[in-house]
Structures are given as C-alpha cells and as structure tokens.
Structure 1
Amino acid sequence: MWCRSTCTSPAAPLTRGSCLPACSRCCRKLPDNNAYNRSGVEMPEALVRGVRINYAIIGDGGPFIALTPGSRRPYGELVDLSKAIAANGYRVLLHDRRNCGASDVAFDGSGSEHEVWADDLYELGKQLGALPMYVGGSSAGARLAIMYAMRHPDGLRGLLLWRLTGGQEAVDKLSENYYGQYIKLARAGGMQAIADSEHFAECITARPSNKERLLTQDVNSFIDVMTKWRAKFLESAKLPIVGASEADLNAIKAPACLVAGNDVIHTPVTARKAARLIPNSELHEDVVERRSDDNLRQEWDRQEWRDAEPKLAKIFAAFLNRVETN
C-alpha cells in the first residue's frame, strides 16, 4: 500500500490481511484510518473527485468485483456475501457511496444521483488499479451498476444485478423517500433539519466531519440538487427499469447475471424485461420465494435475502467462472 500524501502513484489494491505499518514506497507511517471494522475488513479511504470515499477490498487475488447495497445504506451488509464470492478467486471492492455510511456528504447536481455514483466508482476503480471490473449490486446498487455500464463500458467486465427496480409504484415511493422528504425538511428547517434526519444523522455518526459539511452547505443549493435528482428519477416511470431505456439496455455488451426480486418495488417483471433487453444475460427467478405478479410482497424481506446469500454467491460464482473461462 502507498500513502496518498506523498506518493504520486495510485494506491495499490488492498486485500484482506495486507495492512502494512508503513508506505511500501516511502516508508511514511500510514494514516490511522486504515483500521478494521467489526467484520474484520480493512477500511481505507480514497479521495475521489474531491470526496473522501470509505472502501474495503475482500479477497487475496483475481479479478475485481464492485458490489453496492440498496438505498443509501453502508456497504457492511454485503461483507458476508462478498467473502463467499471472493473465496472463488476474486477480489470484491465495497465502498460507501457519497452521502452514505462513512464517506463524505457531497451534493453534485451535474447528473442524476446514480450517474454521480457511477462516475465515483469508475474513478475509485481506476485509482485502485481494478479496471476493468465486474460491477453489481442490489436495488439502488443495481441502478448504479447499470449506469456504470452505460457510462463506462471500457471499465466493465460484467454485471451482477439483483432486486432490480421498475414501475410507477416504485418510482413514486422511492422518489419521495430519497428526495422529496429532504426537500420538505430543508425548506422547513434548513440544513439543521437535514443533519437531524435519521439518514444524515447516521452519516454524521459514521464520519463526524459530515456535520460541518452539512451545516455549511447552502440550503438553496441543496434543495436545487435534490429537485434535479428527483426529476431525473421521476422520468424513469415508463422505462423498463429505473434509469435505463430499452436502447440503453440493448447497448450493454458485457455479460450480465440477473436475480429477480419478489416485491412490488423489485418486481419479477422488471428483471424479465432487463434480461430480455440486455443481449448477453441470464436470469434467475428462484433465489428467494417465487411469487406470482399479483401476490408480491409489499416490502422486501431482508431476512429472506440474507438467508439466500449462499445460493446467491453460488450463482454469481458460477457465472463469473463461466465468463472468465470463455
């Protein structure tokens, strides 16, 4: 590992058990933030497009796979699944996206939230020497992966997608959850109200410097970014999946492994549409309980998906091995 304060080269990939007491190039003492979380996974960070991104790499060698959880949740929920996949000869890159977990809060209205996340991941992968890599995720993480495929095909080996999101009900509910509620909070109580909200209070707990970043954020600029992100999200109601048109999906050349959800936000129909439109794809509909389209869960069952992780890891490992062999 190389320190980022004096060495001009990007950081070499960190792997489980590779934490060093000093920079391997200049012998400078490494910063204290290269610690381990409760799962025993190393937690370095990188400066990505001006934003400090908390990340971890699981595995000792092989191609890189970047996985991202749903919503704006931190990466910790994917550690066990990542270990199971990495055991097959891969390295899994996990990271807290901006405005998630222990990474910086930062609001960039130059594109949709998922476009910003995709560009961040590409830059992080470039810094770590991980490109081209497999990219995947669940729900919002799957949207990030699709956006990454659309914007950075040169940095992509393949896609691992589960719990894909689509449809009017999903768009209406999630646009309010991710954006609408924060627009209302900011208008009523300014950035203090945002800092006090459940999600951003968790971001402050995970990285205390986020409190100052939030409280010094111009409230009108914040509202403007959230409004732009919400508008982009609402445009997706009539698309096959949130964030991607038929033409976008048709243009993806990388192989893709899709796993269908079984709730009204992550419908099996959405996964089937995506699998039909992505040319080199395979679809699995039996990882969790298979339900008819008129009997879907109203909310996704976290424990059901947690229990399905061994099966999910087996499916992904088999797919990855086929792609690598061919």
Structure 2
Amino acid sequence: MPTFSAPDGTVLTYHVTGEGPPLLCLPGGPMQDSVYLGDLGGLTAHRTLIRLDLRGTGHSTVPRDPASYRCDRQVGDVEALRAELGLERVDLLGHSAGANLAVLYATRHPERVGQLALVTPSVFAVGLDITAEDRLETARLRRDEPWFAPAYASLEAVTSGRAAPADWDAVAPFWSGRWDDEAREFRVAEQRQRNDEAAALYASEGAFESEGTRADAFTAPVLVLAGEYDVAAPVRVMKEYAGLFPHADLVVQSGAGHFPWRDGPEAFVTALAAFRDQVVAGPPGT
C-alpha cells in the first residue's frame, strides 16, 4: 500500500482502485478506517478511487500529537496527498464527517479542487443546524418497518438528550435503507474500524471557526447527495446545505439511508457519473 508523509511527519496510507479519472475520497465516522467505503457501489468502473486512511486510522500511523486529529488540522494531510499524487487539481468526495474535511480543504485551497461531491454530509463545517424534529420527521418515513417502534423510542431519547447507552445501538436501523443481516454486519464492523480517541477530538473547539469555512467562497461545481431516509443528514437540511454554494446540485436518493452506495448502488453510481459528465461538459452556453 502506498504511503506518504504528512506535514508533521506522520506516515499516512492511501488505497488506489478502479479505472477512470481520479477521485480522492475522505471517510467519515468520524475517524473511521476508509475500508468501509469499499468500491462505492461500483463507482470504480467509472473513477479511480483514492481512499485516504486518515491519521490514526486504517493503515496510517498514529500521530505524536493527538491534537492533530482536529478536523481543520488535517487539511494539510489532504494537500500533501494531492502533491504526492502529482495532481494540479483533484476531484474530492467526502462522506458524512469526511465532508467537513472536504469543505475545509476546498475553501482553503479552491484552486486545487476540480469538483466536490458531498455524500450525506455532516454540517459542522458550514454551521447549519439539524433539529430534533428534522431527524424524527425523517425517521417516521420508516413507520411501517417491523423494528420501527423501539428504534423510534430510542431516537426520541437521543434527540432529547436523555439517551441511555443502549439507545445509541437501538437507533442503528435508521442508518440503513435496509435493515438486514448485511446491514447488521456492516454496523458491527463500523464500531471496530473507528478510532474513538481521534473521533472525540475531530470536532473539538476551534475546528470550524476559520473564515475559510464559508461555502459561498467556493465556486467550483458541487454535488450534495442526500438519502431519503437519512436521519443524520435530513433532506430539508441538505437542501439548505446545497444552497450555500454558488454552483451546487442536490440529489436525493430514494430509499437510501446514510450509506447510499450500499442501499442503491446503481442509483448512487448513476448520480456520481452524471455529475462528472456535467462537469466535463461545462454549464450550458459555455
């Protein structure tokens, strides 16, 4: 597996799979091994995926300074990888918490980003609010599922700030568009793959206070891809998120939760491929 050195000397690993134009992928979690992204539902047939193992995750080494887990302090890692790859400009995809890092990088280095795809993104970097009712309203779309009642009761506890430890596991069905054995196995693997120490520091004080977090300063094409059923990134807020950028498209994937490439691989790949084609072709009249 190829490695490179971050600005502070931490040795980071990345993974290259697929064919086509390169797409640098930043995982969520936060601070989860990038292996969970897999081939992004078969996107490797259209793009060369470059998955970065963030510092202290996957095959990347643990940094000497734990404070460097803070999201804004990892922007330099992404820039170092771009330079390592020899790319003048890079197409960037961020999933969930990884979208925060993607947005910080894009607004700090706008000249280095060709396009930006934000998949079920966390909103910390752009300062939006997700209310309890946003999440509960989205959850109620699943009211006919056999697991709904206990999971919804736990989600009410979580969103009201009175959750017991068991409630966090009980809401897991809401993360997936299909709560089956495969989704359960994926959930168990997630918990093994995350660096909990790093996750606790990722959004620590000061991470998103820079003026560089202003999305309206980024003028390249943006795709915000939301899942119809995603309680982590509800559609109402994703519409608001897309509206922050001068040139953004919103795609809402039907039947998808927080991991849309797993819930509907064909729809996911079609949306990403169409976005790439649109960017290559340019806007009408150009």
Are 2:10 and 1:51 equivalent residues in the alignment? yes
Task: Return the TM-score normalized by structure 1.
Answer: 0.58
1:81-120 alignment, distance < 5 Å: 81=40, 84-88=42-46, 90-106=47-63, 107=65, 109=67, 113-120=70-77
Picking from 143, 155, 159, the partner of 2:112 is 155
Alpha carbons of 1:168 and 1:245: their partners in 2 closer, same or farther (altered >3 Å)?
A: farther
User: Which residue in 1 is equivalent to 2:273?
Assistant: 317
**Aligned equivalents of 1:305 and 1:162: distance in 2?**
10
Moved over 4 A (4+): 198-204, 225-229, 243-247
Report the Cα offset of residue 265 of structure 1.
2.5
Report the Cα offset of residue 316 of structure 1.
0.6
Task: Return the TM-score normalized by structure 2.
Answer: 0.65
Cα deviation digits, residues 302-324 of structure 1 (max 9, x gap) = 5x651223211110111111111
Alpha carbons of 1:143 and 1:307: their partners in 2 closer, same or farther (altered >3 Å)?
A: same
Report the Cα offset of residue 287 of structure 1.
4.0
Picking from 213, 220, 231, the partner of 1:254 is 220
Kept in 2, the 8 Å contact 1:287–1:312? The answer is no
Cα deviation digits, residues 104-150 of structure 1 (max 9, x gap) = 1123647x722122220111111111230111121111111111111
Alpha carbons of 1:272 and 1:68: their partners in 2 closer, same or farther (altered >3 Å)?
A: same
Report the Cα offset of residue 103 of structure 1.
0.6
Bigger-Rg structure (1/2):
1
**Aligned equivalents of 1:277 and 1:87: distance in 2?**
31
User: Which residue in 2 is equivalent to 1:164?
Assistant: 121
**Aligned equivalents of 1:113 and 1:227: distance in 2?**
6
Alpha carbons of 1:287 and 1:274: their partners in 2 closer, same or farther (altered >3 Å)?
A: same
Are 2:94 and 1:137 equivalent residues in the alignment? yes
**Aligned equivalents of 2:210 and 2:261: distance in 1?**
25
Alpha carbons of 1:132 and 1:227: their partners in 2 closer, same or farther (altered >3 Å)?
A: closer
Structure 1 vs Structure 2 CA RMSD = 3.5
**Aligned equivalents of 1:265 and 1:203: distance in 2?**
17
Kept in 2, the 8 Å contact 1:81–1:310? The answer is no
Percent of aligned positions that are identical: 25
1:189-268 alignment, distance < 5 Å: 229-232=203-206, 248-261=214-227, 262-268=229-235
Alpha carbons of 1:101 and 1:255: their partners in 2 closer, same or farther (altered >3 Å)?
A: same
Alpha carbons of 1:203 and 1:231: their partners in 2 closer, same or farther (altered >3 Å)?
A: closer
Picking from 222, 247, 263, the partner of 1:280 is 247
User: Which residue in 1 is equivalent to 2:178?
Assistant: none
Are 2:78 and 1:121 equivalent residues in the alignment? yes
**Equivalent pairs, count:** 218
Kept in 1, the 8 Å contact 2:226–2:252? The answer is yes
- Structure 2 residue ranges without an equivalent (≥5): 124-128, 133-157, 159-188
User: Which residue in 1 is equivalent to 2:161?
Assistant: none
